[in-house]
Amino acid sequence: MAASLPEFPTSVKNFQRYLQIKTVQPTPDYATCAQFLRDMADELGLPHQVYEMAPGKPIVVMTWEGKDPTLPSIGLNSHTDVVPVYEEFWSEDPFAANIVQDDAGEHRIIARGTQDMKIVGMCYLEAIRELRNRGVKQLLRTVHVIFVPDEEIGSADGMKQFVHRDGFKQLNLGLMLDEGVANPDNSYKVFYGEKAPWWARFTAEGNTGHGSKFIPNTAGPKLANVINALLQFRDQEEKRLVAGKDEATGKVIREGDVTSVNLTMLSGGKQHNIVPHALEACFDIRVSPFVDYEKFEAWIAELARTNDVTIQYKQQYKADNLTKLEGSPWWAAMGRVGQSLGIEHDADIFSGATDSRWVRCLGIPCLGVSPMRNLPVLLHDHNEYVTVNGYLEGIRYYEQLIEELANVAA
């Protein structure tokens, strides 16, 4: 007989309730989620507003006013949507948020969104609860807790639009915290930048005819030249990453230092014996922030031009997306919290894309950190989980971090 589970604190039960709301793309239940968040805000005594960049896609902003609301505020951002699942590969119902004990005696909360990124949003709220319970009525700076939709599908109806609206501008952010990832090592990853997503579609057109003939100027060889060149570049970047160090400079090479290239879609053709008029190849390119965007774009454009191939970008982010750490009072405050709790911070570049990119390009510093260490990276994977102890540690971390950041002097 399986051992009975202990009675978990209310903060854990609240996390389970949040995870049980099916905010799964492509039809997230945003209405139930927004009501849950508004109820939490009322429970915590936080005034809140709801904005919509598109009907049925609420952005919930809770506000804890500071002693000096004229100072730039602290934003605590998280997205409410999660990616779909293959339920047949899960050991538990991915939306039940069941807690199971593993062989090491740890209690795992298994659910879609545990790592990406409902843990962060709930840690924000439970940390504020702990601060209030300690009798902290106000911090120096105002704190805004921001819950946004649609991050998992590009944020077109979320943060991407919100940053240009009056509701966002009135937040007067001096710093925004956002998501990170789990770390198998004993530290918290902190992301001060991220790779720029370039989604490119290459289209080759040429002569058509019978599949048995040597027809000149066909689409296939043109597109093949582009594909081969991009995959050769991919191999070079992968070798740099595997080597781990730049031979010329001695610099350590990490994932954020290299540009990833992946062929994700191929399409075209009618049947086996007809040479196609047109063929298409789509690539997901994530450009390192240390790359000269203009030079890299020019190289791709020349590659397409010399092979008589057209290129269209579905997404091409080229704004500056690095937050300065040296001399930053925010980074210094984070360091003090880490030292107090015995938690190391590992500063890095995020390999994917987050909502921080829309905020950084406005000149607002952003740091991405999720309170997960000694944990496999399972975002978008089967059996996504965090441990109860890890979640509770995250609450303690954010309790100190929010207090420290919001009390940074002018």
Confirm whether 151 is a catalytic residue: yes
Residue 295 in tokens: 């030079």
CA–CA gap between residue 96 and residue 93 (Å, rounded): 5
Task: Give the amino acid at 265.
Answer: M
Which parts of 255-328 fold into alpha helices (H)? 293-306
CA pair distance 171, 176, nearest whole angstrom? 11
Closest of 243, 193, 129, 180 to residue 375, by C-alpha:
180
What's the maximum distance between 2 C-alpha atoms anywhere in the chain? 82
Which of helix, strand or coil describes residue 351? coil
Which of 267, 306, 305, 311 shows the shortest CA–CA distance to 285? 311
Residues in the chain: 410
- Provide the terminal-to-terminal Cα distance of the chain, rounded to the nearest Å: 59
Task: Measure Cα distances from 394 to 75, 93, 125, 128 in Å.
Answer: 17, 24, 11, 12
Give the position of tokens 């009975």.
Answer: 4
Cβ-based burial of 365 (10 A; exposed 0-12, middle 13-18, buried ≥19): buried
For residue 94, give the nearest of 390, 393, 378, 391 by alpha carbon.
378
Q: Residues with Cβ < 8 Å from 20, sequence gap 6 or more?
A: 95, 96, 97, 111
- Does 384 belong to an annotated binding site? no
Helices (H) and strands (E) in the chain, counts: 10, 17
Single out the catalytic residue among 126, 150, 151, 348.
151
Three-class DSSP category at 147: strand
State yes or no: is 130 an active-site residue: no
d(CA 154, CA 160): 8
Q: Is 130 annotated as a binding-site member?
A: no
Do 394 and 372 touch, CB atoms closer than 8 A? yes
Is 179 annotated as contributing to ligand binding? Answer: yes
Helix (H) or strand (E) holding 130: helix 119-133
The catalytic position among 7, 29, 39, 81 is 81
Active site residues: 81, 151
Q: Which residues are annotated as a binding site for Zn(2+)?
A: 79, 116, 152, 179, 380
